[in-house]
Amino acid sequence: MASTIKHKLLCCLVMLAALLKFSTANAQVPFYKDASQSIDSRVKDLLSKLTIDEKISLLGYRSQAVPRLGIPAYNWWNEALHGVARAGEATIFPQAIGMSATFNEDLLKQVSTAISTEARAKYNLAIAQDRHLQYMGLTFWAPNINIFRDPRWGRGQETYGEDPFLTGRMGSAFVKGLQGDDPKYLKTSATAKHFAVHSGPEATRDKFDAKVDEKDLRETYLYAFHELVKNHVESVMSAYNRVNGVPNSINKMLLTDILRKEWGFSGHVVTDCGALDDVYLTHKTLPTAVEVAAAAIKAGVDLDCSSILQNDGIKAIKQGLLTEKDIDQALGAILRTEFKLGFYDDPAANPYHGYGADSVHNEQHLALARKVAQQSMVLLKNNNNVLPFKKSSYSSIMVVGPNAASLDAMIANYHGTSSKVINFVEGITGAVDKATRVEYDLGCDYKDTTHFGGTWAAGNADATVAVIGLSPVLEGEAGDAFLSESGGDKKT
């Protein structure tokens, strides 16, 4: 009898220990960190655990850490226009307008696949050292699918050209390579920008009102965005300008009625950087930052590339302009992106966790960059079949021009850095034998058409290669193209 009681008691103790172990294990893994659950239910659970102040702190691109829930700080601002940008060693592919000139969407998808591989590798390496840096994240604000309608626009180089159909095809291919094809996880997050009717001018972009009729809006300016939404782009960026009087970042018709309700977009909307400040400082359509914060959330903005939502969101709630439900809707959209990227899961379960240093700027990616460059080039004239040069026919070559040895012209804007960029002077010198004479002269600068150097030397050479054109300091984004006479654009 005593042994039976002891046996039952032992069984109970074993069961109790098992239950305690199971309960402890479950207590250690919050529901929102359970990768077997649906993303929507995990987002709902995490939202229920956050205070209103914590929620507000997550609505800016410099997302704040929430240590009690194990949420690290994260910077949403990362660039990948034609390679991982501003993040150290990375493969630099041809500028977007050049890649579009290949008319090869499969090749462009290979490019963005290589870019996202390098991005994941750099992110993995940074996180391993507990570095949470801007430009080393996984949420990329590319591609730029604005329509290059006016050749004076300095940022036209970032686009896929003047044709909405081509832009939609090339932009969709780029998105597919960036985001990957895993059924559960995003490789990186892509962003279609700048929504909408944003094709210059640069100097007045913060106050410009784009007047457009419904036909032009739909057929020219919205077509490519719709194509990218149909191909599941994760994010859309609102533009600085107004459209028919309404600033894009508080434009409910664009951000909610068309983007979400009509097109079924399910990702998150981010503002261009400082665009909310423009609403009350330059557009002056609303008087205060607090009202702007409320209007942006109500219109459909989820993430702010400035500090207005983080600084003034709580004030908007206290003034009755926003509710916590409004905040949850916005934050829920950006949390879904984080879950898709695997931020709250065991890194080892992510198919992209294994990328490391050997995935960055490797021989395969360099070969791909060369292939894209070759397909992007257009030979306009080849009188008497001068090209390609036959080495045996030329004993002396003169290389001239402002872009012959220009690093800026080689890497374009929104660029990465490389430990080995070969300019035209270096490339041509390295391609000929040691018995061939190669000379170089800058020849002229970008603006002086009166004074020329190297003319005498060119007359003494068998062939002269002149490398001319513009550079990103003459045309590009406002502020970056600091030598531009027209705020980033060409004047004429």
Among 34, 213, 257, 272, the active-site one is 272
422 three-class SS: coil
> In a 10 Å sphere around its CB, with 0-12 CB exposed, 13-18 middle and 19+ buried, how is residue 132 labelled?
middle
Look at the block and give the residue holding tokens 């990362």: 78
- Establish whether the linkage from the previous residue to 247 is cis, with ω within 30° of 0: no
Inter-residue contact 418 to 90 (CB < 8 Å): yes
Q: Which residues pair with 144 in a beta bridge?
A: 193
Tokens 């040895």 correspond to: 405
Sign for the CA dihedral angle at 413, 418, 419, 424 comes to negative
* Residue given tokens 């659970």 in the structure block: 45
Q: What share of the chain is helix, strand, coil (3-state, %, to 5)?
A: 45, 10, 45
* Radius of gyration for the chain, computed over Cα atoms and rounded to the nearest angstrom: 27
Q: Please state the separation of Cα 392 from the chain's center in Å.
A: 46
C-alpha distance from residue 55 to each of 220, 227, 248 (Å): 38, 32, 24
Integer angstrom CA distances of residue 67 from 71, 344, 381: 6, 13, 63
Respond yes or no: is residue 130 known to be catalytic.
Answer: no
> How far is it, in rounded angstroms, from Cα 139 to Cα 353?
16
Cβ-proximal residues to 62 (8 Å cutoff; 6+ apart), any chain: 73, 75, 76, 307, 310
Measured distance CA(90)–CA(144) in Å, rounded = 20
Closest CA to 190 of 240, 123, 138: 138
DSSP symbols for 167-194: HHHHHHHHHHHHH-S-SS--SSB-EEEE
Q: Which amino acid makes up residue 418?
A: S
Q: Which residue has the tokens 């390679």?
A: 83
Catalytic positions, written as ranges:
272
